[in-house]
Amino acid sequence: MIEVNNLTKIYGKKDTAFNALKDITLNIEDKSTVSIIGKSGSGKSTLMHIMSGLDEPSSGTVLIDGVDIFKMKEKKIDAFRASEMSFVFQSFFVEGNATCYQNVLLPLEIAKVGITKRKKMVMEALKAVDLEDKVSAKASTLSGGQKQRLAVARAIVNKPAIIFADEPTGNLDSTNGDKIMDLLFGLNKSIGCTLIIVTHDPDIAKQTSMRVSIKDGKIENIEKGRK
Amino acid sequence: MLFIDIVKRSLRNLLTSKARTILTALAIAVGTFALTLTLGASNGAKEYANNIVRSNFDPTELIVSKDPNLFSRQDATKPQVYNPSFGSISTFGGETRQVQYLNTADIAKIATTKGVSSVQPAITVSLQYITRDGQKKYIGTLAPYNSYQKPELLAGSIPEKIQDNTLILPQGFLSALGFSSAKSAIGQNIRLSVQNQTSLNSITTNPLAALNSSDNKSQESVFKVIAVSATASTSISAATSLYLYTNINQVESLNNYIYSGTSSYQKYLTAYAKVTDGTNLTKLNTAQSLIKGEGYSVQSVVDTEKLITQFISVIEGIVTLFGLIAIIASLFGVVNTMYISVLQRTREIGLMKALGMHRKDISRLFKIEAGLIGLLGGIIGSALAVGIGTALNPAISNKLSLGNSNLLIFKASQILILIVVLALIAIFAGLLPARKAAKLDPIEALRTE
Ligand SMILES: Nc1ncnc2c1ncn2[C@@H]1O[C@H](COP(=O)(O)OP(=O)(O)OP(=O)(O)O)[C@@H](O)[C@H]1O
Ligand SMILES: [Mg+2]
């Protein structure tokens, strides 16, 4: 379970200080699907970054399975992110000069997964996103939809407990977008990972089991249950 | 990340920007090229110097003199006190000196020193002339043969003990004395003449009388050629390459003939003290300090070698300094390249950090990358130097008449150390860019488009 307590985030200091998150409190159950919705600039990405330990809050705590992630040593939180979390970003973030195989391999390298186990895991992930025929292709040669599928393969290769997706379909047409969402929801069912999606798209939000709407850094509304 | 994964990733990054990698490495290669050649040249020069010393001096012998200033220059800016017990006054390289000579008593005393097996005064006989029936007369020098010399022979052989009235003829005299080949000289007789110095001394007072008397006071002896020695590239000077060699006793008796009746009779500037087991450095040093303790000044071959090597080292140091400056300059290239690399890969770094890669591993990634550039530069530079050096060696040896010696001698161990050191220095140059990469804020990094 992810427990977010009284989270605030202030960017900058004094005159330029900007209060991006204001007293956010919410609980996310294991294996649930959560959408974070709100206008541009409302603080969705900021919240996601803090929940994943990428960014630090100005005050408040984030507990994952009862452990305060900001009280962990840097090395430990790194290791925790490497083994338990993964990310899908709006602008893909694949390594263009590397092959698809090498792209998907990265999380396994970082998590120091044994060399002998790697190949099977990478191939499974590529198969799940329907890219096994592109194993040795350079990532830069892929189409947008393929790149995002590659990013999803990279996100699932290490069987994470939590997947954070920041507008994963933002740069895709609706057909490709639907494909990605089907993939992510499918994973939630098959490996039971918690799925946290930042999105503008009400259609996507509808499919999640919990909807958190944010306005000006404050929680406006939390809705549970599928629509 | 495992070390091997980091190295693979570094290699991939370097290959992605090949041109940049190679250009940066080439800058390092220039300095390495200079350093490798310097090392090679100084190895060669040292070995050549040692060859010269070893083939002109017996390493188990100590050179002993009575004069404390012989092996070191005295302070020529201060007047020297006259000492009536000293030997003659003479000019020494343009400087008037009062030189102390060794006499037979000194020689006997040195010979009794513990560890010394024998003492020979250092003599070379200036011959009045060398000739052969039907040939011109030439001036020349007769020197005692010492078995350490092992000259290259064109014909004949040198026995354990050289008989009286036999000699080793240098190649340079062959045609002058009318021999068609080295082989044809073997067993032939040549005549050597020496002249007594008392008659020469009177030249200044009564030249005409001296000329007459000099005829009376010279002695001609017949020598049989037993071997012909090749002109060695390691002769200490051009003059020694024309030395004729026979046994020490005969050289001594001819020398005595020349100086009998003069103040220089049986007076020697230096003598060679042979040390038992002298190849053992401690024994050589012990004997050296014992003789010193008796009031003589002593120099060993090791000292002579040191003197020469020191000189070479100074030149080596200067050239090395230039090489180092070139390498330091090229390191700024590494810093620059690595900074660009970090900037170019900001998003990749952000991604790796977001996926939980440790700061240390990220910093290591860039340090290894810098180290690999250094390694590449080192390998290119030293390979070029070894390749070009080895190819040019014969031509250089020919030009400098070094005989069979090579000017450039490359040692694998030295080059290996050089390359490793270069890689380490390059890693050092990569420290700042690596630190910048490790400190990148992943969110900032991911935000960059
Ligand atoms: N490093 C920063 N320094 C100052 N202000 C920042 C910084 N990062 C974010 N902000 C501000 O915080 C607010 C929330 O930003 P955030 O990126 O979380 O918005 P968002 O809800 O994800 O918007 P979008 O839907 O456009 O991605 C914005 O007003 C933004 O300008
Ligand atoms: Mg956002």
- Quick: pLDDT tens for B397-436: 887 777 677 888 899 999 999 999 999 999 999 999 999 9
How many Å apart are CA B119 and CA A219, to the nearest integer?
A: 107
CA–CA distances in Å: residue B116 to residues B70, B266, B267, B270, B279: 21, 21, 20, 15, 13
At residue B235, the pLDDT reads 62
Residues B202, B203, B209, B210, CA torsion sign: positive
Question: Mean pLDDT over all residues of chain A?
Answer: 92
Query: Which residues, by Cβ under 5 Å, contact ligand 2, an ion?
Result: A 45
Instruction: Find the range with the poorest average confidence among A13-22, A170-179, B30-39, B378-387.
Output: A170-179
Maximum mean pLDDT: which of A25-29, B203-207, B389-393? A25-29
Q: Mapping DSSP to helix (H, G, I), strand (E, B) and coil, where does residue B184 land?
A: helix
Which of A9, A18, A220 is the pocket-test mutation for ligand 1 (most atoms within 8 Å of CB)?
A: A18
Q: What is the value of ipTM here, to two decimals?
A: 0.92
CA distance A91 to chain B (A): 9
Q: In a 10 Å sphere around its CB, with 0-12 CB exposed, 13-18 middle and 19+ buried, how is residue A72 labelled?
A: middle
Q: Please give the average per-residue pLDDT across B158-171, as a whole number.
A: 92
**Pairwise CB contact (< 8 Å): A93 & B442:** no
Q: Please give the average per-residue pLDDT across B359-371, as a whole number.
A: 95
User: What angle, rounded to 10 degrees, do the helices at B18-56 and B359-399 form?
Assistant: 40
For A101-128, the pLDDT digits (tens) are 999 999 999 999 999 999 999 999 999 8
Contacts 24+ apart (CB under 8 A), B385-390: B385/B32, B385/B33, B385/B34, B385/B36, B385/B37, B385/B40, B385/B410, B386/B36, B386/B40, B386/B410, B386/B415, B389/B36, B389/B37, B389/B40
Considering only CB atoms, which chain A residues are within 8 Å of B12?
Answer: 97-98, 102
Question: Mean pLDDT over all residues of chain B?
Answer: 86
* Residue A151 φ/ψ, nearest 5 degrees: -60, -35
Give the tokens for residue A120: 């099977």
Give the tokens for residue B330: 């090229």
At residue B93, the pLDDT reads 64
At residue B316, the pLDDT reads 84
Residue A82 belongs to domain with CATH number: 3.40.50.300
For A167-208, the pLDDT digits (tens) are 888 888 888 888 889 989 998 998 899 999 999 888 899 999
**Pairwise CB contact (< 8 Å): B357 & A82:** yes
Is there a contact between A93 and B446 (Cβ–Cβ < 8 Å)?
A: yes
Single pTM value for the model = 0.75
Which amino acid is it at A150? Answer: L
At residue B439, the pLDDT reads 93
With a CB cutoff of 8 Å and minimum separation 6, the contacts of B306 are none
How many Å apart are CA A58 and CA A22, to the nearest integer?
A: 10
Q: How many domains does chain A have?
A: 1
Of all residues in chain B, the one with the smallest CA distance to A74 is B358
Q: Which residues pair with B190 in a beta bridge?
A: B223
Which of A21, A46, A89 is the pocket-test mutation for ligand 1 (most atoms within 8 Å of CB)?
A: A46
At residue B4, the pLDDT reads 93
Q: Mapping DSSP to helix (H, G, I), strand (E, B) and coil, where does residue A116 land?
A: helix
Confidence of residue B56 (pLDDT cuts 50, 70, 90): confident
**Residues written for chain B:** 449
- CB atoms under 10 Å from CB of A56, counted, come to 11
The structure tokens 């009400």 sit at: A202
Higher pLDDT, B264 or A115: A115
What is the atom index within ligand 1 of the atom nearest the CA of A9?
12
- Residue B449 clears pLDDT 80, i.e. is over it: no
In chain B, % of residues over pLDDT 90: 43
- CB atoms under 10 Å from CB of A163, counted, come to 23
Q: Please give the average per-residue pLDDT across A45-70, as a whole number.
A: 93
Residue of A103, A110, A157, A198 for testing the chain B interface, max B β-carbons within 10 Å: A110
Choose among B251, B270, B287, B275: nearest CA to B106: B270
At residue B324, the pLDDT reads 86
Instruction: Determine which helix (DSSP H) or strand (DSSP E) holds A27, and give its type and residue range.
Output: strand A18-28
- Residue B237 clears pLDDT 70, i.e. is over it: no
How many Å apart are CA B98 and CA A64, to the nearest integer?
A: 97
For chain A, how far is it from start to end, CA to CA, in angstroms? Answer: 23
How many Å apart are CA A94 and CA A111, to the nearest integer?
A: 18
Question: In terms of residue numbers, what domain contains A178?
Answer: 2-224
For ligand 1, is residue A213 a contact (CB within 6 Å)?
no
How many Å apart are CA B265 and CA B288, to the nearest integer?
A: 27
- Residue B208 clears pLDDT 70, i.e. is over it: no
Which amino acid is it at B15? Answer: L
Question: How many A from CA of B442 to the centre of ligand 2?
Answer: 14
Is there a contact between A166 and A90 (Cβ–Cβ < 8 Å)?
A: yes
Instruction: Find the range with the poorest average confidence among A2-11, A73-82, B209-218, B242-251.
Output: B209-218
Buried (b) or exposed (e) across B164-197, using 16+ Cβ within 10 A? eebbbbbbbbbeebebeebeebbeeebebebbbb
At residue B205, the pLDDT reads 54
- What is the pairing mode between strands B244-246 and B138-144? parallel
Is there a contact between A144 and A92 (Cβ–Cβ < 8 Å)?
A: yes
For ligand 1, is residue A48 a contact (CB within 6 Å)?
no
Q: Please give the average per-residue pLDDT across B437-444, as a whole number.
A: 90
- Residue B121 clears pLDDT 70, i.e. is over it: yes
CA distance B443 to chain A (A): 7
- What's the order of all strands across the beta sheet hosting A67-68? A18-28, A2-11, A59-64, A67-68
With a CB cutoff of 8 Å and minimum separation 6, the contacts of B395 are none
Of all residues in chain A, the one with the smallest CA distance to B7 is A109
At residue B94, the pLDDT reads 66
Instruction: Determine which helix (DSSP H) or strand (DSSP E) holds B54, and give its type and residue range.
Output: helix B18-56
Candidates B12, B355, B361; nearest CB to A81: B355
How many Å apart are CA A200 and CA B69, to the nearest integer?
A: 98
- What is the pairing mode between strands B166-170 and B218-229? parallel
Q: Please give the average per-residue pLDDT across B146-173, as a whole number.
A: 88
**Pairwise CB contact (< 8 Å): B446 & A93:** yes
- Residue B308 clears pLDDT 90, i.e. is over it: no
Residues B409, B411, B417, B420, CA torsion sign: positive
CA distance B386 to chain A (A): 36
- Residue B206 clears pLDDT 60, i.e. is over it: no
Choose among A166, A221, A158: nearest CA to A40: A166
